[in-house]
A and B are shown apart, each in its own frame.
Chain A
Amino acid sequence: MPKHSWSGYLRKDGRKGIRNIILVIYTVECASFVAHQVALGEADVHVIGFPGCYDNAYAIRLMLSLATHPNVGACLAIGLGCEYTQPSRIASVVAESGRPSRWFYIQDSGGTRAGIEEGKAALNALREEMGKMTVSVSMDWSDLTIGAECGGSDGTSGLAGNPVVGKVFDALVDKGGAAIFEEVVEMIGLRDTLISRAATPQVARELDATYRKAERYCKDVRQYSVSPGNFAGGLTTIEEKSMGAFAKSGSRPIQGVLRVAQQPPAHGLWLLDSVPDGHFMQFGYTNPNDTEGIMDLVSAGAQIVLFVTGRGSVIGSAVAPLIKVTGNSVTYERMIEDMDFNASEVLSGIQSIDESASSLMDKIADVCSGSKSKPEALGHREYFLMYKHQNVPSLKSGCHA
């Protein structure tokens, strides 16, 4: 039986985190160097940022959801001074959530060196405030939102890695937690299978519309979500990859469809739709890389993300720890410093899928209790925020029955 509870951090808005980090956010590429220098050498500081000078509603929602994430205790927003995105407004939203926040423009500070000094001073002040208001709280599985993503998939991902994560998702849902999967573009070919998992007829209509949008998108951009590495690993078609990828959703009913930066309104299993909606500028790729998908899951409030890889991947994540799972024994041995969990024993018959899922839950409970996942220990903090357009129907009217 996996550990039942551990100590976490209670935020003033009621959310519970498994890490207590300060998030530095830059509001344009021009401020990114200073932001990274401010965070350099600070173990509890992560950086995210948006490169564009022209602001974008989607990117702002994404930044705000990360700035007020359960794992974030305080936030410092750094701007250059010319850009549309306003660091002062990010800091206000963070303050309204009950977290300490600061902001400044590098142009006002007086340049690179002065900006870094101002940032370092702000970090010290934030750390002190955060320390004073940190409240420890007992957490259990029902307090968790977990995301699942796969990347560098091969023929083992659909047989071992993803089914084991699917079993963990079933257990999490049964324990009252929230489970989120995405990559709708990796469900191409599975329309009927997807819809059959809907909790209600209303959700079935949502899933159908989400599927059709993804299918139209792939057709329009002439790119399906399958890469040279996937083919080299034995996957021959997007339909085959889809079946394997969908296995990580487990078997519980899907409660509804979330858009990026929306949190699930209730526990259970949720599908996150990161595919752009129609827009006059038509910008945005859907899943340009794995990190983008991980950021989307974190934006939904996932305190932890399970990442299934067959070929091997060396990414981590800002804000929420990433746990790397592989079903490929060769990859596990070759990249052992990066791999947290070996699901390949399911294939060699040493472990059943249930036994493997139970060990993975032990690993998750360890990481929730403060042990560093492999990517965390290596210092990985990848992030990716891009221009995109998504319509955001209200959750009440949109998808939750």
Chain B
Amino acid sequence: MTDEIGRNEKPSFQVDKADNVATMLSDAEAGDLILIRGGAAIMRLVALDGISLGHKVAIGEIPNGDFVVKYGVRIGIVTQSVKPGEWVHLHNCRSQVDERSSHLNYLSGAAQDTEYA
């Protein structure tokens, strides 16, 4: 395998070798090949969802209730089983401390628990 970015490959970065997610460095559509650098070895996997720049893709299988690890630390807990190539965000991951963030719109992040009328 080469570490050159192939045409149509979408780059992403794994911060720590212990991480089970990588951060997208460009937008990817479902079906795109994602190139993951920063880990023990260069990895490639197929995106199962559309994933935007700055968002996270699962590198390995994460069983329901397991920790999401990024920067080598536990940044959240998955609320359903996640497959490699899936987008990891508010719809399938919750904070260990901040309960409000689980009630936000998972696409826009907008609060849905405040009344305006």
* A residues adjacent to B (C-beta < 8 A): 154-156, 158-159, 188-190, 193, 215, 218-219, 222-224, 226-240, 243-244, 310, 328, 330, 347-348
Contact = CB atoms under 8 A, between A and B. Distances in A.
5 contacts: A155-B53, A189-B73, A226-B98, A236-B88, A347-B25
Nearest to A225: B98
Given A224-B95, A237-B93, A237-B96, A328 B53 contact: yes
Contacts of A237: 75-76, 93-96, 98, 101
B30 interface: no
A231 B101 contact: yes
Nearest to B76: A237
Interface in B77-117: 88-90, 93-101, 104, 106-111
By secondary structure, the A interface counts as loop
B75 A243 contact: yes
A243 B54 contact: no
B53 to A, nearest CB: 7
B3 to A, nearest CB: 10
B20 interface: no
B10 interface: no
A234 B56 CA distance: 7
A224 B100 contact: yes
B83 to A, nearest CB: 17
B71 A158 contact: yes
Given A240-B75, A243-B73, A224 B97 contact: yes
A228 B24 contact: no
By secondary structure, the B interface counts as loop
B96 A228 contact: no
Contact of A328 (B11, B54, B56, B73): B54
A154 B24 CA distance: 11
Given A237-B96, A239-B76, 8 more contacts: A155-B24, A224-B98, A227-B109, A234-B54, A236-B56, A236-B68, A239-B97, A244-B71
Nearest to A232: B109
B44 interface: no
Interface centre among A155, A219, A224, A236 (most CB of B within 10 A): A236
B32 to A, nearest CB: 16
Contact of B25 (A228, A230, A348): A348
A347 B109 CA distance: 25
Name the 4 nearest CB pairs between A and B, nearest first.
Answer: A155-B54, A231-B109, A234-B54, A234-B55
Contact of B110 (A154, A226, A228): A228
B110 A236 contact: no
Contacts of B15: 158-159
Contacts of B88: 236
Contacts of A154: 54
A333 to B, nearest CB: 13
Contacts of B97: 188-189, 215, 218-219, 224, 238-239
A235 B95 CA distance: 11
A188 B94 CA distance: 15
B52 A239 contact: no
Nearest to A230: B109
A219 B99 CA distance: 10
B36 to A, nearest CB: 13
Contacts of A232: 107-109
Contacts of A193: 73
Contact of A228 (B23, B93, B109): B109
Contact of B89 (A159, A190, A227, A236): A236
B74 interface: yes
Nearest to A154: B54
